[in-house]
Structure 1
Amino acid sequence: MSINGSLAKAASPYAEALFDSSHFMQIIEKTSQDLKFISDTISKSLILEKFLSNPLVVPKDKKKVLENLFNNQISPHVFNFLFILVERRRIILLNAIIESYLNLVYALELTTVAHIYSAVVLTEIQKKALEKKLQFMTNSKEIKLMVNIKPELISGFVVKIGSKVIDMSLSGQLSQIASYLNIAPL
């Protein structure tokens, strides 16, 4: 099992517990917003990420920093959840927990997450057309595009939804031709 797979497996029970309690309290959307805010805030500081993931830093100090950062910025429910993660020395799983939680929310809302790898930046018109086509293909209520730029694709794009991959890139087509002709890929 990969490291990411191990993290996801360890994070899953925490995400499910947070999701269940948020669902019970009818604050799923507020919790999602808080988690996105926390993720954005922490990802902007490498020092903060290292501080929170350092096992040598005592939980009391981590709590104090989190309190200074997020007090009155997030709901008490999410704030308490962060403290539980610190106390149990699971704060290192925070990004995986957030990702897992958001996937549960998307499943509840019939939202499909599509990872798009494009050679160039997509325009809003292209994104909307792609969303509409993927929505039809997947029978989803909503499509959430996660766009990443990969110039090595030469042109075109690759769509990844779960384990399904649709490769519409020039480099993918060249690889298929090379495979068909039994020559080494370019």
Structure 2
Amino acid sequence: MSSNNVVIKIAQPYAVALLDLAKTKKVTEKVSQDIQSIQNILAQSDKLKIFLANPLKTVEAKKEVIIATVGDQINENTLSFLMILVDRKRIGMLDAIASKYLELAYQMESLTIANINTSIALSPDQETLLTEKIKVMTKAKEVKLIISVEPELIGGFTIQIGSKVIDTSIRGQLRQMASHLDVVVT
């Protein structure tokens, strides 16, 4: 079993517990916003990620950093949850737990997340059209696009919805052609 699978298996119950707490307290939307904000902060700060994952840092130090970083910006339930993660030495898995929580929360809301990689930025009209097409494909009430521009795709785009990937990029087509010719393309 790969370490990524282990992390996912550990993250799942924590994400479910947070979602259950949020539903019980009727603060699901606020907690989801908090978790999204925390994920954004983690994405921007490798130092914070490394600090939280460092087993040599004390529980108190980690709690102080969390409170100083997001304490006044997040719901008390979210903050309590983060403190529990610190106490149980799972705060280093916060990113995985946050991702799993958002996935579960979006499923609950019948919201589909579509990761879009494009070679160039999409116009608002293209985003709207793509959203509508994905709604039809997935039969979802709502679709959230997470768009990133990757010039190395050369042209076209890729869509990932859950484990399904649709690759219309030129890079993908070149790879497909290369596989038929038994050539390696990077």
- CA deviation map 1:140-176 (0-9, x unaligned): 1111112222222211111111222212112222333
Q: Tell me, which stretches of 5 or more residues in structure 1 are unaligned?
A: none
Report the equivalent of 1:11: 11
Aligned twin of 1:114: 114
Contact 2:42 2:95 in 1 (8 A): no
| In 2, Cα distance between equivalents of 1:94 and 1:179 | 38
Q: What residue number does 2:58 align with?
A: 58
Aligned-partner Cα distance in 1 for 2:170–2:133: 20
**TM alignment of 1:59-138, pairs within 5 A:** 59-138=59-138
1:70 offset after TM fit, Å? 2.6
Scaled by the length of structure 1, what TM-score is found?
0.91
Deviation (angstroms), 1:44 = 2.8
1:12-67 CA-partner distances (Å, limit 9, x unpaired): 10000000111111110010111122222343333222221110011011112222
Query: In structure 2, do the counterparts of structure 1 residues 48 and 173 end up closer, same or farther at CA, with 3 Å as the change threshold?
Result: closer
The one-letter code sitting in structure 1 at the alignment partner of 2:80 is N
How far 1:76 sits from its partner (Å)? 1.2
Matches of 2:116 and 2:89 in 1, distance apart?
Answer: 34
| TM-score, normalised relative to structure 2 | 0.91
Equivalent-residue separation in structure 2 for 1:12 and 1:174 (angstroms) = 37
What are the ranges of 5 or more consecutive residues in structure 2 without an aligned counterpart? none
Backbone CA RMSD of aligned residues = 1.7
Moved more, 112-121 or 92-101: 112-121
Query: How many percent of aligned residue pairs carry the same amino acid?
Result: 42
Specify the SS of the correspondent of 1:57: coil
Match of 1:24 in 2: 24
| Kept after mapping to 2: 8 A contact 1:153/1:171 | yes
Aligned mates of 1:75, 1:178 — CA distance in 2: 51
User: Are 1:43 and 2:40 counterparts?
Assistant: no
- Give the total of aligned pairs: 185
